[in-house]
A and B are shown apart, each in its own frame.
Chain A
């Protein structure tokens, strides 16, 4: 009798697992497959002629070269900033580390087009901030950020936290004894750092560099805001310009471009996974107590320097943005008699387009979070309970839609949904295509925290419930859900945050009536409404910081690895 019951229980679990896996795979992986098919077919037959054509064009070469140089040098900037912070925070006795780390994470969570917008507000001839303090360059002087160097700098700032997080995780895995052994052998200061610490954290640094490069390569907001005015085109902006200018007639062509950037990205991802696996050197020992090498008299100057860097990359641009949002018209200096909230009022309450964008982004973010939680909770639990080969494959690939550049996923979604199979209907131009793209892209953002918390659950809890006769559904509802709720909540906020700010995917998928907030800022700035764009951007920054603070405050109740900036 009991044996029968268990068998039945596990069969219902098997069925549920296959079902949920099927949905998850459909949602995440079919678009990528569809894209690949498009690139290697012409008139429904296998052909590489289109690929040859597109890859032979000069514009392709130029954009590829621009993408590689800006992403490569931007990564270098990220490494400089991120590793300086990681080494100092992980190894020394700096004070107020948590606050420092939190501030360093904000640029990562602020959408790139807002980063670009805010930096342009502290440089160039029409900067309200510079005008106000009387330091603006003469009219007609070029905006220095509209250049490859500007793109590189901002890509570097935007992604330095990725290097920081991976490197710090690697540094924390180094047992304290290994460093003490070096000191007792007579090594001191920089020698310990160079001969012991650096070699041991090299794999995680390399992994961080690879994934930063991939992220910078796929960045659309920064090269779009800074590169397009300068006529400097990268692969994502080339795809955007072609599709925006010529419509879906060039779909096959941009599919090849998307495959090209996807290919480079996958090389980077593979490299990152390789280095990550190298990290598991057999280090025996505890790393329980964090290192705190005394900086001595250098501590205060170093702290001052780090906070100054944070001020320059975070505070200054935000001040510029704020200043611009408070003037009546772009170019007017901010004074007591000119300060006004009219653009805030206009943006938040008057403009129908921005209200619509708020509504769209809000619904998309909420909808995505809700659907993903429904998929991910049972999925993570069942995958942990009965590991199958399909599950392992899914586990290895689920990050792909998120790691791949957004333009790749966007093009893939268009190809997949422009003609629904067996009908004449299309989802292209509706909000549903954006929604489905978000589901694919952010599934991993929800899945990983829940997976982390379920892995830390004692399997006996479920078995105990099973032994007293609780059905699958009862167990999910009364045992698994409450125990993984904190992580699910954190995942929800993260999904909401990322979806709310999203630009790259929606930039290619929006049409009149379905614009998102990300697109709205881009469009407002593009049409010269910089003041309104700034007010909207400021609003979003405030929402982002409030949500981040909410996660930070609940961090103590969350399992390890859920809050992305607390490894």
Chain B
């Protein structure tokens, strides 16, 4: 296993930037998710790590080896990186049996037969595929195919495992159980994993840290908890957990408590910035009280099971999402108090 270091890595396609220079460190044994909307450059970043693409700028280290350097033009080809890659389309070889698919990386490395069989059997067992070893991939279901792909990349004991939206082709029910397969796999092997997805629930459920990407940049790389509690941009606040972002001003500090003005009302905020100008309001930051200073009108309430989600409109037209154990009629006036929202600075 190994860590991965990116030093101002950028990628252009025919002069059009797909990735802006980015620097990051993925620790040994860490599970990092790359999360972002379609087209933001997740696959490009992953393919750079695998060696299918060469960076236009910057350098890339896996473990102690520099595998790509745009300056010197030096690059270790994918076949020499000892990395596992799981494709969205599985990319199994349709002319080989499940067993041969899985044992192929060992075959390529020229391992002895006995050793090859032992390691292949171990990988098949770890993914629960022993029964299907002699079938062809086309005879198996989507979830089983993805497990073959996983077994294939685990068999050669790679330095890191890269996964590009591996669950996107599966139905919802299968996705949940495959998430457990990946999580267990990570726990057992301690492999460094980079997992691309556009589904935030998937990223939250599995990752140690999440890199949120937007338009070719990593906008925030943090643990899921930090990402939710302390977003650092409007994009992250909105993309992760559907926060509402509102502008604030008039920052005052007093006895370790920072206050700001939100539409004229004073509220206490959490922040680590000197001059925050935005707050992210999540449902748990909103208290509905008749005496609340902030007035709002109920636009819609949706039953979520056990609680209601309210869409509230502030006098200036901004919309807020709140949750409440009881239903309120549409058009009803509510008073709100905002409890310690997270504040950040956005240019």
Shortest beta-carbon distance from B91 to chain A in Å: 4
- Report 26 cross-chain contacts, Cβ distance below 8 Å, ordered by A residue: A175-B89, A177-B91, A181-B87, A181-B149, A182-B104, A183-B78, A184-B79, A184-B84, A184-B85, A185-B79, A185-B104, A185-B152, A185-B153, A186-B79, A199-B95, A200-B95, A281-B94, A283-B94, A284-B90, A284-B145, A284-B169, A285-B87, A285-B89, A285-B90, A285-B91, A286-B89
Q: For residue A187, which residues in chain B have a CB less than 8 angstroms away from its CB? A: 79, 104, 108
Is A180 at the interface (CB under 8 A from chain B)?
yes
Q: For residue A182, which residues in chain B have a CB less than 8 angstroms away from its CB? A: 93, 104
Binary interface profile of A, 387-398, with partner B (CB < 8 Å = 1, else 0)?
000000000000
A283's closest neighbor in chain B, by CB?
B94
Is A52 at the interface (CB under 8 A from chain B)?
no
Task: Flag if B79 contacts A178 (CB, 8 Å).
Answer: no
Q: Which of A177, A185, A195 contacts B89 (CB 8 A)?
A: A177
Task: Flag if B78 contacts A180 (CB, 8 Å).
Answer: yes
Is A196 at the interface (CB under 8 A from chain B)?
yes
Interface residues of A in 156-195 (CB under 8 A from B): 175, 177-178, 180-188, 191, 195
B54's closest neighbor in chain A, by CB?
A294
Q: How many residues of B contact A (CB 8 A)?
A: 31
Is B226 at the interface (CB under 8 A from chain A)?
no
Task: Flag if B78 contacts A184 (CB, 8 Å).
Answer: yes
Q: Which of A185, A188, A199, A281 contacts B77 (CB 8 A)?
A: A188
Q: Which of A177, A178, A185 contacts B156 (CB 8 A)?
A: A185
Is A15 at the interface (CB under 8 A from chain B)?
no
Q: For residue A281, which residues in chain B have a CB less than 8 angstroms away from its CB? A: 94-95, 138
Q: Which of A181, A184, A191, A286 contacts B93 (CB 8 A)?
A: A181
Interface residues of A in 261-305 (CB under 8 A from B): 281-286
Q: For residue A286, which residues in chain B have a CB less than 8 angstroms away from its CB? A: 89
Q: How many residues of A contact B (CB 8 A)?
A: 23
Binary interface profile of B, 76-113, with partner A (CB < 8 Å = 1, else 0)?
01111111110101111111000000001100110000
Q: Which of A183, A184, A282 contacts B138 (CB 8 A)?
A: A282
Knowing A285-B87, A285-B91, the reply to whether A185 touches B169 (Cβ < 8 A) is no
Bound CA span A125–B154, Å = 68
Additional A-B contacts beyond A178-B92, A184-B78, A281-B94 (14; CB < 8 A): A175-B89, A175-B91, A182-B104, A184-B84, A185-B104, A185-B152, A186-B109, A186-B156, A188-B79, A195-B104, A200-B93, A281-B95, A282-B94, A284-B89
Q: For residue B92, which residues in chain A have a CB less than 8 angstroms away from its CB? A: 178, 181
Is B50 at the interface (CB under 8 A from chain A)?
yes
A184's closest neighbor in chain B, by CB?
B85
Is B52 at the interface (CB under 8 A from chain A)?
yes
Shortest beta-carbon distance from A406 to chain B in Å: 38
Task: Flag if A196 contacts B93 (CB, 8 Å).
Answer: yes
Q: For residue B51, which residues in chain A have a CB less than 8 angstroms away from its CB? A: 184
Knowing A181-B87, A199-B95, A281-B94, the reply to whether A191 touches B108 (Cβ < 8 A) is yes
Q: For residue B50, which residues in chain A have a CB less than 8 angstroms away from its CB? A: 180, 184
A175's closest neighbor in chain B, by CB?
B89
